[in-house]
Chains A and B, each alone.
Chain A
Amino acid sequence: MQLTVAEQLSHEPKYWRRELATILVVLALLVWSSSAVEMQQNAGNGFSVAGGIFRGIFHPTASLLFGTGKNGVAYLLLETMCIAFLGTLVGAVFAIPISFLSAFNIVPKWIGIIGRVFIMAVRTIPAFVYGLMFIMVTGPGPFAGLLTMSLCSVGMLSKMFIEAIEDLDKGILESLDAQGCTFFQKIKYGIFPQLLPSFASTLIYRFDMNLRDATVLGLVGAGGIGAPLIFAMASYRWNDVGAILVGLIILVLVVEWISGKLRSKLMRG
């Protein structure tokens, strides 16, 4: 029997109920969430603050921005970069063994799951908690910041390392085996070349992010540019705030540009 237009019309799948339900659920969630929004009464002078910061960015304190002393923005940015750099490296040192222990194609499934739960726990702990804890260990300053950064990096580094490890082409190992290579030769010639570009790219990406997060550390007193920022803001010295923000933005943009170039070079070989 031939299908008629009228029949086909009646066959139209009725998605609208499901779509409507989804939309209602989402709206309900949003309405429920807005109940948490609270702000203090001094919101009135909020605009003057915003204006102040805005103006401060365009009239940064030159001495602060270009100063060469330990309080200068340049030195602090350098310190922040070093914190991020070493933090990424140390984080990698922790992350590599943990990643291998969590990759399902290397270890049995139950070990892998324990590894991943461990990583998730490490990742969940907020950065400033680590910061405060490390300050107790090493005293305030950039060393604490570095250690904090490394633990914070472990989360993302492990996740991306695990992906790279699980993507490993076993075929190459097979052919090396067939040629009669030892265990270590297989690792050096079979595994490293596959993982290295991926690992390196991940490290650079994480360094980029750590640079941004490193400013956080200053807020807990763990070095870097966060501390002067918070002092300047607390004293309403908008021009100083502007100087710091400008320096920060420039640094991040430059590093991002360089790291982008490096990563695409790595990926394309």
Chain B
Amino acid sequence: MQLYDRLFPPKTYTLSNGKSVSEKRSRAPLVWLVMICFTAISVRITGFNFGVLFRRGSFFFVMLGDMFPPDFAYMENVWKPLWDTIKMSLLGSAFGALICIPFAILSSTNLVRNRLVTTIFKFLFSLVRTLPTLVAALIATYIFGLGTLAGTVAITVFTFAYCGKILYENLEQADMGPYEALEALGCRGITCINHAIFPQVLPTYLSTVLFCFEGNVRYASILGYVGAGGLGIILNEKIGWREYGKVGMILLALFAAVVAIESLSQYLRSKLT
């Protein structure tokens, strides 16, 4: 930025009473330039092509149209995978949320004095978060075999990273006053955390876990694509067979489930705060 200011020196205004004010040149041209460059490069590399879009774009809507009306008769086969998806997310979210607690505590600089320990655990969270859920699911299918266990593990890992980060961010901002008071009356560190810090972060933590669970239900449906159980498996099959009516049914069922769960979750979350 200093280089920029040297190349384009700030503009100086002289007021009528003799004072002069200098205003730095706007960064906007630089930002525009950078954006246009990236866009150009990206278009080149990805092969973005308006022409193709216009010519073949309608095909997308044709497929979409085929999905409605959905094949209601197929609903019978949808139930089990649907429940599987929900169960996977429930279990995975619960485990992830529980396991992240001790790790989050160890990452909080106000609860653990040792800087090295907190840095290591924070880095651990970052590392786990970089792993896309689907990649984790893929790896999980190799380790645990195909099926819902792999999916549950993948969701656990994702929830662990997501809830963990938010939890340690909240822990670090918690009021340490009551903690100090409990320390002064003779409690050990863990007890102080339990009685003084947790009541403060609990509502936000539960809210985060519920929110994560909402998202996980949608993720779980994708995991089936790599064979990790749930709706993804039949979805993938039916698309492959071009049975769009059935695809539509699956999507409709998923949509209904997601709406129901999200409403329930939002209701519970509003009661927490």
Contact = CB atoms under 8 A, between A and B. Distances in A.
Given A37-B91, A38-B147, A129-B239, 4 more contacts: A46-B144, A82-B41, A85-B38, A233-B138
B142 A143 contact: no
B143 A138 contact: no
Interface string B118-155: 00000000110011101100110011111111101000
Contacts of A41: 145
B126 A256 contact: yes
A143 B94 contact: no
Contact of B251 (A85, A125, A223, A226): A125
A191 interface: no
Contact of B84 (A29, A36, A127): A36
Nearest to A90: B48
A252 B47 contact: no
B144 A39 contact: yes
29 contacts: A29-B90, A30-B90, A30-B94, A32-B87, A33-B87, A36-B87, A37-B152, A38-B147, A43-B144, A43-B145, A49-B142, A82-B45, A83-B46, A86-B42, A124-B254, A124-B255, A129-B251, A132-B239, A137-B60, A142-B45, A215-B132, A215-B135, A216-B132, A219-B134, A233-B139, A252-B130, A253-B127, A256-B126, A256-B130
B259 A38 contact: no
Interface in B5-64: 38-39, 41-43, 45-49, 52-53, 56-57, 59-60, 63-64
Contacts of A85: 38-39, 42
Nearest to B255: A124
B42 A229 contact: no
A192 to B, nearest CB: 12
B259 A49 contact: no
- Interface bracket on A: 35 or more
Contact of B59 (A83, A132, A136): A136
A18 B16 CA distance: 73
Given A38-B149, A128-B222, A133 B60 contact: yes
Contacts of B109: none
A226 B131 CA distance: 12
Contact of A79 (B45, B52, B142, B262): B45
Contact of B139 (A29, A53, A136, A142): A53
Contacts of A220: 225
Interface string A140-163: 011101100000000000000000
Nearest to B219: A126
A41 B83 CA distance: 23
A127 B206 CA distance: 27
Contacts of B88: 33, 36
A186 interface: no
A73 interface: no
B164 interface: no
Contacts of A47: 143
B146 A40 contact: yes
Contacts of A33: 86-88, 90-91, 94
B258 interface: yes
B225 A219 contact: yes
Contacts of B221: 126
B27 to A, nearest CB: 10
A137 B57 contact: yes
B269 interface: no
Nearest to A44: B145
Interface stretch (B171-179, B183-191, B228-236): B228-236
Interface string A195-232: 00000000000000000110110011001001001100
